[in-house]
Amino acid sequence: MKLTTEYPIWFIIFCIAAGIAYAGILYYKDKKLNELSTWMIRLMAAFRFIVVTLLSFLLLSPLLKTISREVEKPVIVIAQDNSESLVAAKDSAFYKGEYKQSIQKLIDQLSEKYEVRFYSFADRIKEIPSADSLSFNEKQTDISVLFDEIETRYTNRNTGAIILASDGLYNKGSNPVYSADRIKTPVYTIALGDTTVKKDIILQKVEHNRLAYLGNKFPMEIVVNARQLKGKTTTLTVSKGEAALFTQTLNFNSDAFFTTVPVYLEAKETGLQHYKVKLTALTEEVNTSNNTRDIFIEVLDSRQKVAIIADAPHPDVAAIKESLENNQNYEVESYTIDNFDKPVKKYNLVILHQLPGTRNPAAKLLNDIQAAEVPVWAISGAGSILKNNLSSVSASQKTNECEAILDQNFSLFTISDELRKSIKDFPALVSPYGNYSAENIANVLFYQRIGIVDTKTPLMYFSSFGESKTALFLGEGIWKWRLQDFALHSNHNLFDELVSKTVQYLSVKADKSFFKIIGKNNFLENETIELEAEVYNETYELINEPEVNITITNSDNKKFPYTFSKTASAYRLNAGMMPVGEYKYEARVKIGEKINTQRGEFSVSPLKVELTNTIADHQLLYSLSKKHDGQMLYPAQLDNLAEMLNNRTDIKSVSYTQNKLADLVNLKWIFFLLLSLLSLEWFLRKRNGAY
C-alpha cells in the first residue's frame, strides 16, 4: 500500500498543527476542566487531536494506492464426444462403465494443479460436472463448432491445453482440422471407437421432397452402402403401413458396394404420410439399426380448379386449355355459355372468352361471379361488351390489328428475360376498336402497338375489386402466340409461362383468417417443437390480449396441453423435444365472443446419421494433435496424459499485477473511526460534567 495526495505531502504538518491548536485551545484553556485528572484531560485532548488532524488530512484528497497480485492456474479444457456412434458397436459397455471411470480419474488428477473445464459435445456443447453425466445418446456431431466455442470462451485466458476425446466422426459443420486453425493451444486427442471395417448394410441416405401434391408422382433417391458382404443380397422395400409400394433386390458385387436407387411413388392421400424404407438385415451384420429409415411427406391437394367459359368454340380456348393441362396443379374444364350450369363458387378462377357479348350478355353468369367473388380473366374480341368494373368496350364490329408492348414497370409477377425478348416477335392480334375507359387499373402488362405507333391503350392489364382480382385481355387470336412460340423454340414454354403466371396470380387468394398457426410440419428428433400464432381483430390488426391454447395429440391419442407465450404482438410456443412419430394439434383462441380454432399436424422424424458410419476416423484425430503440438492417445494411455501435461514447460501459472487507487474519504472504516472518537470524547466530557 502507498498513500498519496493531490497536494505536497509536507502539507500534513499543517494538519497536525491544526489538530494540536484545536485540542490545546479546547482543553488547556478551559477552566471547567480543572477538577479532572490530568490523564483524563490528555485522553480527551488526544481524541480531539486525532479527529481534527484526520479531517484536515482528508481535505488534502488523499489516495490509497494498492498493488494486488493474482495467480491464474492454466485452464485444461476436456471435450468429450457424447454422440451415439460411440456406443453403436459391441464395446458399448466399455464406454458406459470403465471409460467413464478413467476419464473422471484424469479430471481429478489434473484438478490438483490446473483449472479443469469438462464439456460434452454432439448436438450441443454444454459444461457438465462429471463423467457420470455422459449419456452417449446425441444424434449429430459438430466438432468445428466446438473449437469456435472454445475460442470464444477462453480468448485471453491462460489456456494450457485442449483434450478432445472422440471417434473422429462428424456429420455436421466443417472439417475440424481447418476450423481449429485459430486455436493456438496444444491439442491432445483421445482416439475412441473402432477402425475395423465390419460387415454391414447401410441405408446411407434417402433424398425426398418435403411436399408432394395429390395425384402426382414424387421421387425418392435411396443411397445404399454395403461393406464386406460381396456375394450377398438384400431386399430394398418402401412401404406405407402394411402395403409395400416398391421392392427391389440388390446384389452386392464387391466388398465396398455403393448404389443409388431411384423410386417414384404416387401421392394418393392428402395429409402427412409416413413411409418406411427398409433393407432386409443379414445374420452377418454387426449393426442393423442403420437398415431402416422413416420418411414423412406432406401431401397437399393444391390443384386449382379453372373454368373456361366461351361464347362459342374458339382456338384461343383450346390454346389456353392445353397450356394449363400441362401443369398438374390445375384442373381445367371448358364450356360454352349455353352448356354451363355449374356453381361458379366451386372454381378458383373463371376465364371468360368473348363474354359478355352482343349475342349473349351473360348477365346471370356475371352476377354469380360477382356474388361469389371469383377471380376473372376476361378475353375480349369483336363485339364484346365488358362491364361490371372490368371495362367498357364499344360494341362496334370494327377492329384493329395490334402487337404487344411489354410494360417494363410491371411488378405483379416476374417475367423471364427470354419471354421479354420474344414478345416483340409474337404476331398481331385482333383488338376491338373503340374508346376504352378502364377503371381502377393497377398494373398494365401489355400496351398496344398499332402499325408502327406505340400507344398507351392497354392490351392486357390487372385490377382488383374487393377481395377478387381481374385480368382483361383486349385481343383475340392468342392461339397464334402459342404457334409462334413453337416455331421459334420448338416448344410452348414461353406461352405456357405467360398463361401459368397469369392464372397463378389471379387464383391465389391471400389468407385473411383471424387466427393463424405458423410452424414447420416436420421436425427432427433432436429439435424442439416451436410454433408461432397470430391473432387479428375485426380491422385485421395484430393483437395478443386473448390467451391461445393448444392441445397436441400423438398417435396413441395421448394429449399434451400447452399455452402460448405472448411476444410483442404475437405468440410463441416451445413445446420441447418429442419422440419420433406423427402428431395432430388443435389450437383455440377467443376473439370477442367467438372461439376460433385452427387444426394441423406435424411429424418428428428419426435422425440416424450417427449410425450410418461407425468406423472411427483416427487419422483426423492424429492430424489435429500433430498440427497443434499435441499427441494422440488411446483410452489405455489415459494414465500417462496427466504426466505429459505436467512435463510441458509451456503450461504454467500466470501472475497478474493490478494497481488500484481509492479515495481515502470513501473508506467506511475512516468514518466509523471518526464517529467513534467523537462519541467517546462526548461521553467522557458528559460523564465528567464538562458540558
> Does residue 70 carry a pLDDT above 90?
no
CATH code for 515-605?
2.60.40.2550
Residues 6+ apart with CB under 8 A from 535: 514, 515, 542, 543, 544, 546, 548, 570, 571, 589, 591, 596
Question: What's the CATH superfamily of 74-96+108-196+615-646?
Answer: von Willebrand factor, type A domain (3.40.50.410)
Of 569, 564, 563, the residue nearest 544 (C-alpha): 569
Confidence at residue 643, expressed as pLDDT on a 0 to 100 scale: 93
pLDDT tens sequence across 647-677? 999 999 888 777 787 788 888 888 888 888 8
Q: What was the pLDDT predicted at 31?
A: 63
Compute the average pLDDT of residues 199-219. 87
Q: Which CATH architecture has domain 200-300?
A: Sandwich (2.60)
3-state secondary structure of 39: helix
Name which of 228-242, 427-441, 472-486 the model is least confident about. 427-441
Q: Note if the bond before 219 is cis, omega within 30 degrees.
A: no
| Domain ranges across the chain | 2-68+661-687, 74-96+108-196+615-646, 200-300, 312-507, 515-605
**pLDDT given for residue 390 in this prediction:** 43
Q: Please name the residue that has the C-alpha cell 491445453.
A: 161
Q: Give pLDDT, residue 635.
A: 93
**Count of all residues that appear for the chain in the document:** 691
- Read off φ and ψ for residue 118, nearest 5 degrees: -110, 125
Rounded to an integer, the average pLDDT of 388-404 is: 62
In the CATH hierarchy, which top-level class contains the domain 312-507? Answer: alpha beta
Q: What's the confidence (pLDDT) of residue 290? A: 87
pLDDT at 570: 93
Distance CA 316, CA 320 (A): 6
Residue 433 cell numbers, joined: 376498336
| 360-381 pLDDT per residue, tens | 888 889 889 888 889 999 998 7
The share of the chain scoring above pLDDT 70, in percent, equals 94
Question: Are the C-beta atoms of residues 206 and 224 closer than 8 Å to each other?
Answer: no
Tens-digit pLDDT profile for residues 537-557:
887 889 999 999 999 999 899
Mean pLDDT of 200-216: 86
Domain 74-96+108-196+615-646 and domain 312-507 have a common topology = yes
Per-residue confidence band for 389, with pLDDT thresholds at 50, 70 and 90: very low
**Mean pLDDT, all residues of the chain:** 87
CB 156 within 8 A of CB 599: no
Strand-pair category, 441-450 with 159-166: unpaired
What is the spatial distance between Cα 422 and Cα 237, in angstroms, rounded to a whole number?
Answer: 48
Give the pLDDT of residue 229: 92
**Model pLDDT, residue 34:** 64
Distance CA 614, CA 89 (A): 8
Could you tell me the pLDDT band of residue 395, with boundaries at 50, 70 and 90?
very low
Query: In the 8-state DSSP scheme, what is residue 468?
Result: E
Q: Is the pLDDT of residue 85 over 70?
A: yes
The pLDDT tens digits of the residues spanning 564-597 come to: 999 988 999 999 999 988 899 999 999 988 999 9
What contacts 176, CB < 8 A, 6 or more positions away?
A: 143, 144, 146, 147, 170, 620, 624
**Structure confidence at residue 356 as a pLDDT band (50, 70, 90):** confident
pLDDT (average), residues 430-436? 73
- Contacts of residues 202-208 at CB distance under 8 Å and 24 or more positions apart, as own/partner, are 202/226, 202/227, 202/290, 202/291, 202/612, 202/613, 203/277, 203/278, 203/279, 203/290, 203/291, 203/292, 203/293, 203/612, 204/612, 205/612, 206/277, 206/293, 206/295, 208/295, 208/297
